[in-house]
Structure 1
Amino acid sequence: MYIATNKETCDKIREVLAAQADKPQNIRVFIAGMACSGPSFGLGLDNINDEDVTEIVEGVNFVLEKSVFDSVGEIKVEWVGNGYSVQPVNVQPSACGSCSSCG
């Protein structure tokens, strides 16, 4: 697995982990939903399962289901000032317009 991230992002995640010391200390990257432009991703605290792949970056243990990694590949996690941006590295969202909910 490969997580593209930076020190600032990992610093912010470590702050969350420190405040949630009673919770699992792994950051799960997961598919939070699907839209016409592809999957949207989220982050959460979670345990490691047998079906997972992991990578430690700057002391942060990222976890992702192997099947998700196999379908989307590398993931970029970045602190963007008011939250985290989580996106596949090599997949650009397609232009919408194929569904009625996009206007």
Structure 2
Amino acid sequence: MYIATNQETCEKIGEVLSAQADKPQNIRIFIAGMGCSGPSFGLGLDNINDNDFTESVNGVNFVVEQSVFDTVGEIKVEWVGNGYSVQPVNVQPSACGSCSSCG
């Protein structure tokens, strides 16, 4: 598995983990929904399950369900000043027009 991130992002996540010491210390990357442009992702504190991939980057343990990784591959997690951006590295959004919500 491969999680692309940077030191600043890991430091911000570390702050969250420190404040949540009584919760799991793993950052789960999950698909939060699907839209015209593909999946949208979320982050959450969670335990490691049997069907998960894990990767430790700069002291942060990222967890992804195998089926999610099989679907999207490499994932980029970045701190963007007011939150986190989570996107597949090699998947480009599809052209709009295939659903009714597109104008």
Match of 2:31 in 1: 31
Unaligned stretches of 5+ in structure 2?
A: none
Partner Cα separation in structure 2 for residue 78 and residue 9 of structure 1: 6
Partner Cα separation in structure 1 for residue 65 and residue 36 of structure 2: 22
- Classify the secondary structure of the residue corresponding to 1:102: coil
Partner Cα separation in structure 2 for residue 82 and residue 94 of structure 1: 26
Please report how far the alpha carbon of residue 102 of structure 1 lies from its aligned counterpart in structure 2 after TM superposition.
2.1
**After TM superposition, what 4+ stretches of structure 1 lie above 3 angstroms from structure 2?**
none
Q: How does 1:15-94 map to 2 (within 5 A)?
A: 15-94=15-94
RMSD, matched Cα: 0.7
Question: Which amino acid in the other structure matches residue 79 of structure 1?
Answer: W
- Classify the secondary structure of the residue corresponding to 1:87: strand
Aligned-residue sequence identity (percent) comes to 87
Corresponding pairs, count: 103
- Classify the secondary structure of the residue corresponding to 1:56: strand
Please report how far the alpha carbon of residue 95 of structure 1 lies from its aligned counterpart in structure 2 after TM superposition.
2.4
TM-score relative to the length of structure 2: 0.97
TM-score relative to the length of structure 1: 0.97
- Classify the secondary structure of the residue corresponding to 1:100: coil
Unaligned stretches of 5+ in structure 1?
A: none
Question: Which amino acid in the other structure matches residue 72 of structure 2?
Answer: V
